[in-house]
């Protein structure tokens, strides 16, 4: 566990885990929204962020989706875990603009780049640029954009044979801040394919506590519910007709706008069985700004009722978060 130096360690400030190292978009997101009200703790990958949440580190930010490249698979894979909705809860969201740059070590010629390193989301978000300008370059995945930048300084991280090959052939996709923090030269800025935004979930070990310094959202509330099969011997409708049952649940049980539906393979042993993640939205009442707590309490009660109705209809529903 590596504690970032944005704030000196103090029991007066809660800790927030993020996908490190310093300079990643997760770090930028956390700093933009939490400021100096927390202590930052970097983690090597998204799974480690979920693992480290505890009384010592009660909050975290994880990337959830990108406007260009879609859902962040590692985040949704972790949302399948049994402790999500029990020990770990989604308690907020943050969206930031993502502007990538192509960076190299000092003195490297751009025309000599043969390998480009970054997180798979960043590689996907810059696919058109890479295909146009570096069609023959090998695209190498890294755990984060920050680690991609650091990898240019360590040949073993990118699988190259020696230091001279590293110096002449590798580039990283990362933020301008990250490139400058690591002493890299920027070949080109704004290489993302289009207007590019990433949405992050804020995680907490407390279902009731409000994370520090999150912005107020005066127009809506949201909730995330996970739907899974209820296995009954000789009568497993979900496994045979999952999509129909999910859509029926949305239409007849929830009764509020559904803003997202994501799915991942189930963790059980049944082949081709999926877990569905349903994000719901409720428009705020007219007096929302005056009585936020009352409107939120009403929304929380409604969400719990919807989850109970889903369970009674033959679908196992787990409430993963309300915000």
Determine which of 66-70, 124-128, 148-152, 217-221 has the lowest per-residue pLDDT on average. Answer: 217-221
* Full residue range of the structural domain in which residue 292 is found: 220-322
Q: 204, 235, 260 — which closes off a domain? A: 204
106 and 154 belong to one structural domain: yes
> And the tokens for 145?
């954009």
Give the span between the Cα atoms of 18 and 186, in whole angstroms: 25
211 lies in some domain: no
Assess whether 274 and 232 both reside in one domain. Answer: yes
Q: Note whether residue 30 is domain-resident.
A: yes
The answer to whether 249 touches 313, Cβ cutoff 8 Å, is yes
Residue 171: pLDDT over 90: yes
Q: What is the largest CA-CA distance in the chain?
A: 68
pLDDT single digits (tens) 27-61: 999 998 888 889 999 999 999 999 999 999 999 99
Are residues 61 and 17 located together in one domain of the fold? yes
Q: Is residue 111 part of a domain?
A: yes
More confident site: 245 or 269: 269
At 142 the pLDDT is: 93
pTM score of the predicted model? 0.81
Q: Side-chain half-sphere of 260: how many Cα atoms within 13 Å?
A: 16
Q: Are residues 78 and 124 in the same domain?
A: no
Same domain, 131 and 159: yes
Indicate if 237 and 316 belong to the same structural domain. Answer: yes
11 vs 268, more confident: 268
Number of domains in the chain: 3
Both 226 and 310 in one domain: the answer is: yes
Q: What local confidence, expressed as pLDDT, does residue 295 receive?
A: 74
215 inside domain: no
157 shares a domain with 88 = no
pLDDT given at position 178: 93
**Average pLDDT of the segment spanning 261-278:** 87
**269 band by pLDDT with thresholds 50, 70 and 90:** confident
- Taking 50 as the threshold, does the pLDDT of residue 272 lie above it? yes
- Whether 39 contacts 13, CB under 8 Å: yes
Q: Of 91, 69, 45, 76, whose CA–CA distance to 215 is shortest? A: 91
The CB density around residue 63, as the number of other CB atoms within 10 Å, is 27
Mean predicted confidence (pLDDT) in 206-217: 73
CATH (domain of 29): 3.40.190.10
The tens digit of pLDDT for each residue in 53-83 reads 999 999 999 999 999 899 999 999 999 999 9
Q: Are residues 120 and 55 in the same domain?
A: no
Residue 209: inside a domain: no
Angstrom CA distances, 300 to 72, 222, 271, stand at: 26, 9, 35
Quote the tokens at residue 309: 């109705």
- The answer to whether residue 214 sits within a structural domain is no
Identify whether residues 112 and 232 lie together within a single domain. no
CB atoms inside a 10 Å sphere around CB 213 = 12
Which position has the higher pLDDT, 208 or 186? 186
């Amino acid at each position: 566990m590596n504690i970032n130096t944005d704030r000196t360690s103090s029991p007066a400030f809660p800790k927030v885990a993020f996908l490190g190292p310093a300079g990643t978009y997760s770090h930028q997101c956390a700093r933009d929204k939490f400021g100096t009200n927390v202590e930052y703790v970097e983690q090597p990958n998204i799974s480690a962020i979920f693992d480290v949440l505890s009384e010592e580190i009660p909050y975290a930010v994880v990337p959830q989706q990108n406007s260009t490249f879609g859902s962040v698979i590692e985040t949704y894979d972790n949302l399948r875990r049994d402790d999500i909705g029990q020990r770990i809860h989604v308690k907020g969201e943050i969206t930031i603009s993502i502007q990538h740059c192509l960076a190299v070590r000092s003195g490297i010629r751009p025309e000599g780049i043969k390998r480009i390193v970054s997180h798979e989301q960043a590689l996907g978000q810059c696919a058109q640029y890479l295909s146009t300008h570096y069609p023959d370059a090998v695209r190498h995945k890294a755990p984060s954009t920050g680690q991609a930048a650091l990898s240019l300084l360590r040949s073993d991280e990118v699988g190259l044979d020696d230091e001279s090959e590293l110096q002449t052939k590798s580039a990283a996709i990362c933020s301008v801040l990250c490139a400058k923090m690591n002493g890299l030269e920027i070949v080109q800025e704004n290489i993302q394919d289009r207007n590019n935004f990433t949405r992050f979930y804020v995680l907490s070990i407390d279902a009731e506590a409000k994370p520090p310094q999150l912005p107020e959202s005066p127009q809506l509330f949201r909730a995330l519910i996970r739907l899974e099969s209820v296995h009954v011997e000789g009568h497993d409708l979900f496994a045979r007709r999952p999509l129909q049952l999910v859509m029926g649940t949305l239409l007849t049980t929830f009764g509020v706008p559904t803003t997202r539906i994501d799915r991942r393979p189930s963790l059980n042993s049944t082949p081709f069985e999926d877990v569905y993640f349903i994000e719901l939205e409720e428009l705020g009442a007219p007096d929302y700004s005056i009585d936020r707590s009352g409107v939120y309490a009403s929304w929380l009660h409604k969400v719990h009722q919807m989850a109970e109705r889903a369970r009674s209809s033959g679908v196992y529903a787990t409430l993963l978060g309300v915000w």
